[in-house]
Structure formats: C-alpha cells, structure tokens
Amino acid sequence: MDFIIFGFMDNLVLIIGMYYSYASVEFYLEKYFENIKANPLILACVSAGLGNTFSDGVGFLVTGNFMYMSLTMIGCLIGMIIIPIIHCSRKKQIV
C-alpha cells in the first residue's frame, strides 16, 4: 500500500508543480539574476530534476518512510550531476 500512496503523491505533486511553476521559473531567474541569461534547455533540465526530487520526497514523506525519502532525494540530486556534463560535452561538439 505504501508504494501506491507514494506513486499517487509523487505524480500529484509533480503535475501540480508543473502546471503552476513552469512558466514562472524563467521569469524569476531573469528577475533576480538580471545579467545572467539562462539556457532554456538547462533551465528545463534543472527544473525537471528538482521537481522530481521534491515530488519523490513528498511521496515518501506521506508514507512515513523517512529513510527511503532521504536516500531517494540524495540519489535524485546526485543524478543531476549529468546536466552540466552533458551541457559541456554538447558545447564542445558544436564548436
């Protein structure tokens, strides 16, 4: 039953977050970092990674399994290391 609750909360939070925050993320980045223009692809990848991390955490938090919540969130954040690696390798291919 825990995994059904986890799956429901995970997707619920992710979908609600996508509907209410996707359009505003770039607006806030540009507002607070006026001199920095964000690459839309990088912004989308980071937003997706953080959204997934948060929704996974909420999913496990609701089930009361704090160890799985912590380990899953750490794993999600570690997995985001690939974003700058891919970005750098794509830059080298283009030049």
Maximum alpha-carbon separation in the chain: 51
Q: What are 50-82's pLDDT values in tens digits? A: 888 988 999 899 989 899 999 999 999 999 999
The whole-angstrom separation of Cα 52 and Cα 66 is 17
pLDDT digits (tens, 9 = 90+) for 21-60: 655 666 666 666 667 676 778 877 887 888 889 889 998 9
Q: How far apart are CA 60 and CA 5, in angstroms?
A: 8
Contact 66, 24 (CB under 8 A): no
